[in-house]
Amino acid sequence: MAAPKSDKEATRDGAKKKREGTVDADAVVAAVAAAKEGLKECPECGSKCLICDYGKAEIFCEDCGLIIRENIVDLGPEWRAFDSEQKSKRARTGAPMTYRMHDKGLSTVVSSGSGLSPGEYKLKKWQQRTHVANTTERSFIFALSEIDRMASALRLPVNIREAASMLYRKAMKKRLIRGRSIEGITSALLYISCRQYGVPRTLEELRDVSRVGQKEISRAYRFLLRELDLKVSPASPVDFVPRFCSLLNLDGEIRSHAVEIIKKATEAELTNGRGPIGIAAAAIYIAAILSGEHRTQKEVSDVTGVTEVTIRNRYKELSEQLEIPELLEV
């Protein structure tokens, strides 16, 4: 007859079962949920791997299996949804707060439709009139719509739109907008946000979707960096490779090869004083040649926005300095 297990062995077995997947994955929320309960480490072994299992209403240590707290309260919704349609029907709250709207999405909106009664129509009309108080707010709404329009044209993610909208609010608080072009300021802020989040876009691309010229965007960019005390690191050629390869219909192997060429060029200090887009274009051009999926210099130039002369010059520098034998034989 086997001896009964000690408490410590039992808790270890429990932790093993939990690690093997006995606990429902949807019910287990890792360290973040445990931290919300005010717990940082296990009092038994000192481990910080705490698991919050709302299915069993307990918090336990993943390493030693000790149950630290029981009967915890689940602060989430009491209903379950298995698709987005069910979730939208069962949710009793509105959309989350967003900086992309001038009122952060917290104001009341009277729905429109053909079935409105005269009283409801009048209520909607007055709500629209009082929604925007003055010309400053109207300008603010226009600026946010410009950010959203340009970000949509450049296919930028939501987080960059939010960041650009937050920066515009900061510029408004410091009264940097008055007397300056709203289009220039919004274009510059979008350019800054792209650089900060590692999704760089060229000034030429931004100019194409903006309503002002490249010179105005550059001027606003320098002004905002100085006044808002923003730190923006120089763009890396590697950041441009995935997007350019995608536009040229090149596969992941060529993309990886181009990144390797850029890294070797950086180590050899060949990128110093060179434009990152020109380096990225030349690296992609070389990688495509080496992989047998040749792209012409004109095709690369059309996608990247740099001239064919620049691509040829960077191509010669990289092939000679990095001593790529396949290219030197050509």
Q: For residue 26, what pLDDT band results from cuts at 50, 70 and 90?
A: very low
Dihedrals phi, psi of 240, to nearest 5 degrees: -90, -20
Name which of 27-36, 53-62, 239-248 the model is least confident about: 27-36
Is the pTM above the cut of 0.85?
no
The amino acid that residue 302 corresponds to is D
pLDDT, position 35: 54
pLDDT, position 168: 94
CATH of domain 237-329: 1.10.472.10
The whole-chain average pLDDT of the chain stands at 80
pLDDT of residue 14 exceeding 50, the answer is no
Measured N-to-C along each axis, helices 237-247 and 297-304 cross at an angle, to the nearest 10 degrees, of: 110
Q: How far apart are CA 273 and CA 10, in angstroms?
A: 64
> Taking the domains of the chain in order of start, what are their residue ranges?
7-70, 135-227, 237-329
Q: How far apart are CA 292 and CA 295, in angstroms?
A: 9
Q: Comparing 135-227 with 237-329, is the CATH topology the same? A: yes
CATH superfamily for domain 135-227: Cyclin-like (1.10.472.10)
SS3 211: coil
Average pLDDT on 148-164 reads 92
* Whether the Cβ atoms of residue 64 and residue 42 lie closer than 8 Å to each other: yes
Average pLDDT on 196-221 reads 90
pLDDT, position 39: 67
Q: For residue 219, what pLDDT band results from cuts at 50, 70 and 90?
A: very high
Q: Which of 231, 194, 188, 179 is nearest to 207 (CA)?
A: 188
Q: For residue 192, what pLDDT band results from cuts at 50, 70 and 90?
A: very high
Q: How far apart are CA 1 and CA 33, in angstroms?
A: 41
Average pLDDT on 23-27 reads 38
pLDDT, position 191: 94
pLDDT, position 113: 66
Q: For residue 185, what pLDDT band results from cuts at 50, 70 and 90?
A: very high
pLDDT of residue 184 exceeding 90, the answer is yes
Average pLDDT on 310-330 reads 77
Q: How far apart are CA 252 and CA 264, in angstroms?
A: 19
Q: Which class for 5: exposed (0-12), middle (13-18), buried (19 or more C-beta within 10 A)?
A: exposed
Q: How far apart are CA 266 and CA 288, in angstroms?
A: 20
Name which of 36-45, 59-68, 171-180, 316-325 the model is least confident about: 36-45
